Chains A and B, each alone.
Chain A
């Protein structure tokens, strides 16, 4: 177990290191001169050269990489070119928005997908199963941004139940929650469609096993058999997908935040790319990558929590 943890932690660190190299390299070979972006087209050559010197753009790539990593480790991601404030401040300001959106999306996904998937498995080849399979097929086929627009047209424009976008902060919690509902649903529906299918097939697999018959023979209700015996045994593939989906949810916020005009990291990364704001983009890509790698790390740990047989083997 200790060896397993050590190996996973090492893998975690090495992955992030590799990501940092790739991010830095890609960002620095992209066309576009940050100095030109900052000073504008009319800037004189002297001013541009001075700014390049000041930004350290004339140093060798390797030197710049190491000083970037060294500073990043201390929480200093440099100054945003376009906002003229430290990148870490920008992120700190917008991180809660994105994280709450991703977590809310994940929760809604889990509730929807597990209940639909288990229902479908219980009603295998009958009405409920067909219904869930049809809806999930639809959910997978529909792109999230288009679904978002539909949701806005229906619930915000036509019915006027919910705000069409924007976020005024948590000072008014009810308003804040209301403005999170549509983005969360838009984010979660597609993911639940995928996860419901995984849950269904995994549960069907488990339902064929002998211990399910034993549970039924003990006089347990079907509901109890499904949720207490089948679902836990179906969790390993489900958790694998959830790990991947959490990553997809975090990156999915890029689209959703732009559609719903939410001040989160997704919107920030979009703006920063448009502005050639190199330090901000680098930091954000790094952050997204770290979230994805962390999600996978957590999933690996969850396997052991779910299945006691793995503890003996790892």
Chain B
């Protein structure tokens, strides 16, 4: 349904996304994880045809067999909302403050599907019920400032579902929310994808949320897809040093931050931070921060090495030890 083949996005000489390969089919639930600046939002924007004008795209991006990498804004408008839809990070700011939320949710239906106002209203009502908004009749008439963050995120999900998209992209949908609200939104997205047989791309740096919502996972760093595979397996036995670092940097509530002797323990972190785009090494993007770096890592780009069917990572250690 949606296929990316070595899709790259360059700003001048700097690559925000390098050779992304991806296949998304109906019903897939795919998690994309990585730190800020890893290219995951760039990837999502590419799938919406909303990469910034200054980004130069190369490679192939096809939706329903149509090549969209070079498509015009007009072509993309036909895709958005009807084939691909997106929920953004910041529910407090993502709704037009001067419009009743009902009007916002009905707008794409009226425009794309020529529904009458009454039909659109009926569908908005049932969408509100589907995404778990209580008193939907009354909520339709409210303004965003009259709602909480969790409710607004539900409204945004209803808006994304307005024209029955085949793929829903959720870019950090829970980052701005309270922990328990975040959990419910995660479960909602997962349930919607299953019930509607819709593909879900769930972008997050919250590994627990990704584990809950998705079947497959792609780990990104510095614009590269460094590891991928079934979510449970990747999280249980990470193969790329970056994924290992990412998993190590999670607070473990069971240990409550203390080691075996009951001493306070520092949360392990990945040393350093993601360098700016133009400062990334040309070889493996993780070189320089990698604990097991080899001499040629910074200059030579590791190829993606499958380790099992549907699983693999792009790391020199893997290609040299097991698969030479």
Which residues of A approach B to under 8 Å, CB–CB?
A: 209-211, 213-222, 224, 229, 232-233, 306-309, 312
Contacts and interface: CB of A to CB of B under 8 A. Distances in A.
A219 B50 contact: no
Given A210-B90, A307-B98, 4 more contacts: A210-B88, A211-B95, A219-B77, A308-B145
A233 B82 contact: no
B82 A308 contact: no
Contact of B82 (A209, A213, A219): A219
Contact of B88 (A213, A233, A306): A213
Interface in B152-207: 156, 159-160, 162-163
B79 interface: yes
Interface of B: 48, 50, 73, 77-82, 85-86, 88, 90, 93-99, 107-108, 111-112, 143, 145, 156, 159-160, 162-163
Contacts of B78: 219
Contacts of A306: 98
Contacts of B77: 219-221
Give the dominant DSSP class at A's interface.
helix
B97 A307 contact: yes
Contacts of B90: 210
A139 to B, nearest CB: 29
Contacts of B97: 211, 233, 307-309
Which of A211, A217, A224, A232 counts the most chain B CB atoms within 10 A? A217
B98 A217 contact: no
Contacts of A307: 97-98
B112 A219 contact: yes
A308 B98 contact: yes
A307 B145 CA distance: 11
A182 to B, nearest CB: 38
Contact of A216 (B50, B79, B82): B50
A213 B50 contact: yes
B143 A214 contact: no
A219 B79 contact: yes
Contacts, number: 73
Contacts of B145: 308-309, 312
A312 to B, nearest CB: 7
B96 A217 contact: no
A202 to B, nearest CB: 14
B118 to A, nearest CB: 20
Contacts of B88: 210, 213-214, 217
A219 B95 contact: no
Given A209-B93, A211-B94, A308-B143, A217 B73 contact: no
Contacts of B143: 308-309
Contact of A220 (B95, B99, B108): B108
10 contacts: A214-B96, A215-B107, A217-B160, A218-B107, A219-B112, A220-B111, A229-B99, A233-B96, A308-B143, A308-B145
A273 to B, nearest CB: 45
A304 to B, nearest CB: 12
A211 B162 CA distance: 16
B96 A211 contact: yes
B94 A214 contact: yes
A2 B112 CA distance: 42
Nearest to B156: A214
B93 A219 contact: no
Given A211-B96, A211-B97, A233-B98, A222 B73 contact: yes
B44 to A, nearest CB: 10
B182 to A, nearest CB: 18
Instruction: Specify which of B98, B159, B162 lies most central, judged by the most chain A CB atoms within 10 Å of its CB.
Output: B98
A232 B82 contact: no
Contacts of B86: 217
B162 A210 contact: no
Contacts of A233: 96-98
B114 to A, nearest CB: 13
A233 B78 CA distance: 26
A218 B94 contact: no
A89 B282 CA distance: 84
B76 to A, nearest CB: 8
A302 B179 CA distance: 40
Contacts of A209: 93
A307 B144 CA distance: 12
B50 A217 contact: yes
Contact of B81 (A211, A213, A218, A308): A218
Contacts of A217: 48, 50, 80-81, 85-86, 88, 160
A219 B143 CA distance: 22
A306 B99 CA distance: 10
A219 B163 CA distance: 10
Nearest to A230: B96
